[in-house]
Amino acid sequence: MKSKVLNQGPERTIALIFDKGDEVISTLQRFAREHSLTASRFSAIGALERAVLGYFDWERKDYDRLPVDDQVEVLSLNGDIALDGSEPKVHAHAVLGRRDGSCVGGHVLEAFVRPTLEVLLIESPGYLRKTCDRDSGLALIDLSA
């Protein structure tokens, strides 16, 4: 994955271009840590060789894993980055398109790029913080934190 700042100023727009084989979430997570991102949003299109999506099971309070084992188009991949403690945390949801145009989507647990993923990330100077939500057991963005 390579990155390039497209726009300086109070908000910065950064292009992140992923290569074949790059895993999206761990790579974004590493980028967020290395650049100390405290409040970012991103949107991407491209294609994947395979992925694992998640669906949050409200009863079990955990994610079901939905493996996607075929080459798919990334129709949308939207997300944000907020602080969980002192650590930036990536949160992304995607809709993937199969050969027949049918769609499968979920919370992105893992996604392996082929041949490319074009991410436009906007870094804001503010910050967003996550705290643990008792109801769901998830770390959710909390604007009063």
* Binding residues among 37-96 for its own copies as defined by CB under 8 A: 39, 41, 43-45, 47, 53, 55-58, 64, 66, 68, 71, 73-76, 78-80, 91-95
The whole-angstrom separation of Cα 129 and Cα 82 is: 6
Smallest distance, its own copies to C-beta of residue 33, A? 20
Kindly state the smallest distance separating residue 112's Cβ from its own copies, in Å: 13
Return the number of the residue (86 or 135) whose C-beta is nearest its own copies.
135
If the CB atoms of residues 6 and 87 are measured against its own copies, the closer one turns out to be: 6
DSSP calls for 10-46: SSEEEEEEEPTT-BHHHHHHHHHHHTT-SEEEEEEEE
Site string for its own copies, 7-26 (x = CB under 8 A): xxxxx-x-x-x--x------
How far is residue 86's CA from residue 97's CA, in Å, rounded to a whole number? 35
Choice between 25 and 95, CB closer to its own copies: 95
Q: From 32, 35, 12, select the one nearest 82 (Cα to Cα).
A: 32
103 lines the binding site for its own copies (CB under 8 A): yes
Coil, strand or helix at 1: coil
Q: By CB under 8 A, tell whether 118 contacts its own copies.
A: yes
Contact between 12 and 27 (Cβ < 8 Å): no
Beta pairing, strands 129-132 & 72-84: parallel
Q: Pick the closer one to its own copies by CB: 23 or 75.
A: 75
Q: CB of residue 11 vs its own copies: minimum separation in angstroms? A: 5
